[in-house]
Structure 1
């Protein structure tokens, strides 16, 4: 499936879930934009369906927590990649020997 179509479907589902809780749809549009991926929106939807937060602040707080988790994961993967390159350098050296 085209990622743009999947993203749009998840955005619409997120907007609908937020509207069902009594909040404006624009909040859902903004949150979807901040989350950025269908997988992140799925996490937010699970929160909305299970917790049913009563304030917009709780919704935004959860969005920030999800974004923080994603950033931490990206940082961890970047550090692992850098560590692997460093270990490769230590093992094989610079390759400048004659």
Structure 2
């Protein structure tokens, strides 16, 4: 939250809180955008690891550590994506179980 916006709403009591929330929402990244960029990074890591494997197979890579690091990074990014997905689904299921 930006302090200036909050200060302006306190100083100017005529300014409604809804307009402040709209301003804050306009500045914040959307969940779908964050999700899409994160999944794109996971995909990029996977593609890079595959390229490194192919380069190792044809002898273009001299340092096997780079190939191993790329593979481990891709594996970790997939693991984190799966864990986040499981947590989101678990939270969704908990919300759906709530009784109003």
Smaller-chain TM-score bracket: 0.3 to 0.5
Flag the structure with larger Rg.
Answer: 2
State the TM-score, normalizing by the size of structure 2.
Answer: 0.42
State the TM-score, normalizing by the size of structure 1.
Answer: 0.43
